[in-house]
Structure 1
């Protein structure tokens, strides 16, 4: 039986060099005997000591404070036990963020599925692609609202993401989700600027060429994909980095 472990982290900030992990949550999605992907009872969360104080600006998001983690283990001491296992992949919404701390040394080199990047492909008509907007736009079958609360806590957020992943796996194989996740995000619409909200197909060639040289790798990739669709140069795929929120 194949499984994917969905991971969510709560941290003191955005950079491992300056910030640490204060909570890790997980939720498994696995194939049943009929090959159908299901959200399983395999879930949990652990508070971890980030190795520094939790600033008020991040405590205000996840509501974890220093006293909550004072006696908790360091993330590095428990992460492998959560991340390694008989899984075909790990998954996260915006997996590039979790990947900053969940390094190959801790994961055993498991591939990642980014449910944000996959949502761009599977549900291009969504009003937004955040975990929670997708939750209320899609209303996934079987999602227990209480188990998905509070938001911005590692266990509930992983639980919500797992329902998106389960439904993605009903329309695309796990290998395809891994492949999409290894590329920049294919944005269905222009995310910013004077053409914000427009479909790439609606842009003229000059505008498209300008966006194909944009600083944002997701914008570049999306514009170049449209150029290639029109019969232009093939798409060059840069090394993925953390995409920006839109």
Structure 2
């Protein structure tokens, strides 16, 4: 399993300015661990100046990336290493997947450790990469190696410890399935019912939340409605041509 983290100079398809990776490996007995040797980071030339707004997040300077290769030249060697990976992983993987397209990754399977954390540790109050780190304090995580935050390798290293613990608790196939769905939020994130478990939300309010603009809120509300028997979780699609009666 290869955990990926990107730092970017903007939202364009090639605006990556750093990629970091940390592998999680399985031993003969089936136990997963964070590799001590298979990790790294590379600067990437984003082909554009890095704005102060993004520098303030990751502190990467233009002069550091000026002579680095471009994203299309860096990505394949990291995303498709000589030793094939079972899957790629990232915390809130949708962000990394915007840049690590199927063409660059070889159509790799992805695991989102944010979506999986919602399921494996629903009791946690917050689910950002660093909050999960300090709420759980994963065994074996070397504090200094996970710093500075918001740099590609330290963040990938931290995420790898979350992934390791997930893999040792839940089947890989389950993590992949959860990652393919919207996030199942353990509590209502906004509004009058903020902080409540979905089971404590009244039917009318739940129906309103099931129409929310946020896909994770909708999915979570729909899941609870399905549990109550109110409606199927996935509404049937409309036929391509209406039947004339």
The TM-score normalised by the length of structure 2 is: 0.93
| 1:67 to 2:63 alignment | yes
2:94 to 80, 96, 110: 96
| 1:58 to 2:41 alignment | no
Q: Which residue of 2 aligns with 1:25?
A: 20
1:16 deviates by: 2.2
Q: How many residues are paired up?
A: 233
CA distance in 2, matches of 1:72, 1:23: 10
CA distance in 2, matches of 1:45, 1:217: 32
The TM-score normalised by the length of structure 1 is: 0.93
Q: 4+ runs of 1 displaced by more than 3 Å?
A: none
**Structure 1's 156 and 237: CA in aligned 2 closer, same or farther, altered over 3 A?**
farther
2:9 to 12, 32, 35: 12
**1:171-192 deviation digits (Å, cap 9, x = unpaired):** 1111111110000000000111
Q: Which residue of 2 aligns with 1:164?
A: 162
- Give unmatched runs, 5+ long, in structure 2: 237-245
Q: Which residue of 2 aligns with 1:127?
A: 125
1:237 deviates by: 8.0
Q: Which residue of 1 aligns with 2:233?
A: 235
Aligned positions of 1:194-209 closer than 5 A: 194-209=192-207
Q: Which residue of 1 aligns with 2:138?
A: 140
CA distance in 1, matches of 2:88, 2:103: 14
**1:29-58 deviation digits (Å, cap 9, x = unpaired):** 010111100100210000000010000010
Q: Is the 8 A contact 1:26 1:159 kept in 2?
A: yes
1:127 deviates by: 1.6
CA RMSD between the two structures: 1.2
- The higher radius of gyration belongs to 2
- Give unmatched runs, 5+ long, in structure 1: 239-246
**Structure 1's 237 and 90: CA in aligned 2 closer, same or farther, altered over 3 A?**
farther
SS in 1 for 2:226: helix
